[in-house]
Structure 1
């Protein structure tokens, strides 16, 4: 219904869909975005990528944002990256020899393979990096291969042998030197990327940003924007109230904040001093919604602070 703004795939898929791009600083909690784009456009075309990152920062992203050109620019600007690559990546050894990655990994032993490489197929544009590889279970590998085959079938071709073989591995590339971070520490950083997924889950499950009650395009658009704005207000309040405690659950805190919405509205409407309203909300959220320390599958915050790597999933 909103195809005049955001294009979808059409056909059996939605005629209109939108992708939401954000950048979240996991140290300060600052959120850049959301920036909206056509659902058919690639994630790397989102406006958030036009925003410069501070020198020395670490950019963590999934395979959807993998762009060798952008990674090369990051390295030139003094910015670090930790990202999952595509399954068809071209890899060479530091001596310049093309590396048959799937065959090479098949011969390796150990839980984590840490390899110094050059990314890219053109020698003049090679990018020095580290490749971390972790084997996945046979069940996970087969699920990935089935997904690759189905995706390729819809496009009228078959997946490459390398892509199918590499489906048995979790691959991470980074330009952080081994002298700065060990392999397990890099994997911990990558695991923190899931906080962005949890944020989107929060927006959907609490803000219902992907649902609406009307069939009128104008009403849908107003409702969509209103919900996004509400999620930004929620983010700001949770940031002010909870960010100092790394073990605070934003999901549980959002539940508590929902109970305070009538009070917040009084402040936003000017019926009560807003600073006093925010102070009362802060008190209500101050001592609740803490994530307990778990002996199995500890939270990302506990893993980062304790330096104990548990896994990528």
Structure 2
């Protein structure tokens, strides 16, 4: 659905009243006539935490006009089911800005990025959400992983799935429908899957992917490991028709030798990771540090090697999306100490960030060049006014969103020392 003041107002009004009330009954979150309804609870926790990610339960309860314990008691299994169902309905709305199509993306019906981010949970959630091991802030006995597919020309959140932190992203990626034929997908290395690539080739879906160290390539009738293939290369750049992996996926292999400074940086990261995991750095890893490697099914007449690299680089925007959810939206910060309490807060904050994303689209998608952090803060500043307007019904919500759009329209594009993603993707005559 195309974003507009009227569409956003209608979506918010319906989602946080009639839809929330219905889902509360279906999930048995609300089983009788009570002070707290599905709509009032959703409005309080979603917009309350969107406005102030550090808000206490006492503050949320005050907005509802109930005792804090009444809110604490709703953070349970049924609360999780209710909020997760509300999140799914929010994603289904698929609000989108007018597409921005730089030159390198005009051939495709959409440009999708896939990735996941992980948030730690208290240990008592380990049975249903087992976590990961390591040293980062997102690791622990319990964690929730948020897999996201984002369309970058319109800013629409296409898919979002929650799962346990321990498994890889592959099950989530396989569980969602494929993008439309003619679309372009740039997936994270952790999502590399030759079965999906084979299916995308058959469905006419374009893709660009980084390639894992242990994969095999078949070139000129000879099959060998990728690192062996690269270690025998005397050229600094190659663009070859190959077959990839055990599935023999037909594609292009686009490789470029890295400058010494980049090799040193990569190798330092690999050595540090190996040290933390108490492992040795393998010869294959050392070879791969010397190369930037992409595989793609896009013909060279559509994207030459440099253009493949440029389009691939734009994937970093989804990492900024996750950063905004966590740093501005407080997704990974909670005062809760139990799994149910924290997971309910994560779900409420995630819904709030989806709503903020919709508000940001009033200024356009991520390729506009507007500072995404500043835009997110501006939308969050209007969150409480939106909540009050939803509760009041009438035309108040239209007025609040109209006012928000005026603020968003005044946001300029900051000057940058480096070219913006839009400019990079719009450049002409990018030659190898």
**TM class by shorter-chain length?**
0.7 to 0.9
SS at match of 1:69: helix
User: Which residue, out of 399, 421, 424, partners 1:276?
Assistant: 399
Matching residue of 2:166: 40
TM-score (norm 2): 0.64
CA contact (8 A) 1:23 1:48 kept: no
Alpha-carbon distance change, 307 to 24 in structure 1, aligned in 2, over 3 angstroms: farther
CA contact (8 A) 1:24 1:31 kept: yes
Between the aligned partners of 1:47 and 1:298, the Cα distance in structure 2 is 32
Matching residue of 2:245: 120
User: Which residue, out of 204, 208, 231, partners 1:82?
Assistant: 208
Cα distance, 1:279 vs structure 2: 1.3
Cα distance, 1:255 vs structure 2: 2.2
The structure, 1 or 2, with the larger RCO (C-alpha pairs under 8 Å, 6+ apart) is: 2
Cα distance, 1:194 vs structure 2: 0.7
- Consecutive aligned runs of 4 or more in structure 1 exceeding 6 Å deviation: 153-156
Between the aligned partners of 1:220 and 1:78, the Cα distance in structure 2 is 41
Alignment RMSD, CA only? 2.5
SS at match of 1:17: strand
How do residues 140-289 of structure 1 correspond to structure 2 at under 5 angstroms?
140-149=262-271, 151=273, 158-243=280-365, 246-270=368-392, 273-289=396-412
Structure 1 portions without partners, runs of 5+: none
Matching residue of 2:145: 19
Alpha-carbon distance change, 264 to 29 in structure 1, aligned in 2, over 3 angstroms: same
Between the aligned partners of 2:280 and 2:144, the Cα distance in structure 1 is 28
Between the aligned partners of 1:90 and 1:244, the Cα distance in structure 2 is 36
Structure 2 portions without partners, runs of 5+: 1-121
1:60-80 CA distance string (max 9 Å, x none): 012111111211111111111
User: Which residue, out of 286, 301, 307, partners 2:422?
Assistant: 301
1:110-164 CA distance string (max 9 Å, x none): xx4322222124xxx3111111222334344244335445655676764542232
1:261-292 CA distance string (max 9 Å, x none): 33222222226522222111111111214233
Cα distance, 1:187 vs structure 2: 1.4
Matching residue of 2:12: none
Q: 1:101 aligned to 2:223? A: no
SS at match of 2:221: coil
Moved more, 199-208 or 216-225: 216-225
How do residues 58-69 of structure 1 correspond to structure 2 at under 5 angstroms?
58-69=184-195
Give 1 or 2 for the bigger CA radius of gyration. Answer: 2
Alpha-carbon distance change, 268 to 182 in structure 1, aligned in 2, over 3 angstroms: same
Instruction: Name the structure where helix makes up a greater proportion of residues.
Output: 2
CA contact (8 A) 2:129 2:163 kept: yes
Between the aligned partners of 2:308 and 2:424, the Cα distance in structure 1 is 12
Alpha-carbon distance change, 145 to 22 in structure 1, aligned in 2, over 3 angstroms: same
Between the aligned partners of 2:338 and 2:222, the Cα distance in structure 1 is 59
SS at match of 1:242: coil
Q: 1:132 aligned to 2:254? A: yes
